[in-house]
């Protein structure tokens, strides 16, 4: 048994089960996509513990030794980034956004992909807020798919960059968190970031579904307060 309780046989069995009618070449493409996602998650896992080590006072030299690289390489690879305060759920939604862009064979991650990533992380508050109002996850997915650009010719390998409006949405998510006095950036803040970039595809989708920026802000504020109150009663 591996440390993650995942082995190659499990991964093969799941892919074969999910793509029963696919030929070998199609399965190679899907396996490549999943391998890239696993790689992204692995990087985030390391980043998480690098952040904790830095907070505990570890030097970059010590972190470099733990990783097996030089101090300079460790510092460059794990320098503070916009995702540093992102929760694990929100980081996973970003991974899902990248996977969505790759699946649709798009060469950039748009706000529509980020919205799809939030919808794919059902444990996040953004998912609860989205589905509570629309009463249908499929309705949201249909709206996103309808707004998606045409598929490209070939799925990209490796890292996929963000569109300019997606970068702005991430910055708006950071601001939303700060405005609410939160020390984390969750899926709920990412949702606020998306609708605040008014001309973005995601903002248009959300408005068409009946959301407004002010309403979302108040909903997030209320729901976070409720969660803290419920936790304090335990």
Using one digit for the tens of pLDDT, what is the confidence trace for 182-199? 989 999 999 999 999 999
Residue-averaged pLDDT of the chain: 88
Distance between CA atoms of residues 18 and 133, nearest Å: 31
Instruction: Please give the average per-residue pLDDT across 16-29, as a whole number.
Output: 87
Instruction: Answer positive or negative: Cα dihedral of 111, 116, 120, 122.
Output: positive
Quick one: DSSP state of residue 56?
Answer: T
The pLDDT of residue 171 is above 60: yes
The pLDDT of residue 157 is above 90: no
Using one digit for the tens of pLDDT, what is the confidence trace for 208-232? 999 999 999 999 999 999 888 777 6
Model confidence, pTM: 0.68
**Residue 131 in contact with residue 82, Cβ under 8 Å?**
no
What pLDDT, on the 0 to 100 scale, is given for residue 1?
A: 38
């Amino acid at each position: 048994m591996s440390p993650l309780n995942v082995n190659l046989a499990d991964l093969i069995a799941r892919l074969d089960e999910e793509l029963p009618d696919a030929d070998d070449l199609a399965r190679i493409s899907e396996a490549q996509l999943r391998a890239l996602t696993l790689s992204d998650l692995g990087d985030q896992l390391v980043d998480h513990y690098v952040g904790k080590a830095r907070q505990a006072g570890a030097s970059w030299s010590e972190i470099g030794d733990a990783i097996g690289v030089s101090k300079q390489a460790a510092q460059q690879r794990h320098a503070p980034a916009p995702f540093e305060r992102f929760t694990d759920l929100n980081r996973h939604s970003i991974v899902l956004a990248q996977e969505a862009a790759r699946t649709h064979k798009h060469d950039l991650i748009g706000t529509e992909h980020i919205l799809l990533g939030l919808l794919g992380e059902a444990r996040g508050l953004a998912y609860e807020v989205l589905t509570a109002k629309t009463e249908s996850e499929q309705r949201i997915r249909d709206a996103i798919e309808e707004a998606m650009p045409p598929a490209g010719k070939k799925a990209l390998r490796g890292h996929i960059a963000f569109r300019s409006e997606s970068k702005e949405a991430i910055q708006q998510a950071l601001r939303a968190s700060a405005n609410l006095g939160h020390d984390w950036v969750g899926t709920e803040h990412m949702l606020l970031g998306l609708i605040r970039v008014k001309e973005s595809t995601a903002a248009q989708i959300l408005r068409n579904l009946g959301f407004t920026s002010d309403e979302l802000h108040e909903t997030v504020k209320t729901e976070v307060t409720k969660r803290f109150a419920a936790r304090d009663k335990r």
